[in-house]
Amino acid sequence: MKISITARHFDLTPAVKGYAEDSIQKLDLYSDQIISAEMVLTVEKNRNLAEINLKMKKFHFFSKSKEKSMYLAIDNAVRKIEKQTKRHFGKLQNHHKRENNSVENISNFNLEEENNISKNELILDVLNTERAIEKLKDSTENFLIFKNKDTEKINLLKIIGKSFELYEIK
């Protein structure tokens, strides 16, 4: 990560510069995608301002803090950036977790709660494999469940790319 620290209207002491660099360096813990971090420290009358621009591959975060102490302004600006990055990457992780929750919900389904169960009857077509493939090609679905005319067993025919997979349900 490239770190740039700029001081406006005051001389940047090594202590403040080292503190700012250490604070920004901690942001590496939240993401390895950080390209650069630019911090601008400003003194206006009796206020100290700290601004941070954090650039990543696809994202850009900004925070600004005004305090009486420069160290406190740096801490607050870094804390705001941490909060933004945590929230952003948390949303990305939660989005991917939601995709997997459907599988978890099925496996954790409580069969004792009869109020949640909807009973429907499924009438299967009796087809041979060739006819099932033709029917699936004409359909908008990605799979077809049918009773195989040749084996008298229930089969699942599934489209995978440009080919078909046939499963026998036991």
All CATH 3.30.160.100 domain ranges in the chain, comma separated:
2-100
For 2-100, CATH number? Answer: 3.30.160.100
Give the position of tokens 């440009």. Answer: 162
Beta strand segments in the chain, E: 2-8, 34-44, 47-56, 60-67, 126-127, 143-148, 154-160, 163-169
Taking the model in full, what pTM does it have? 0.55
- pLDDT under 50: residue ranges of the chain: 99-109
Q: What is the pLDDT of residue 97?
A: 54
Query: Under CATH, which architecture does the 126-169 domain have?
Result: 2-Layer Sandwich (3.30)
Q: What is the pLDDT of residue 118?
A: 63
Q: What is the pLDDT of residue 44?
A: 92
Q: What is the pLDDT of residue 100?
A: 46
Q: What is the pLDDT of residue 78?
A: 94
All CATH 3.30.505.50 domain ranges in the chain, comma separated:
126-169
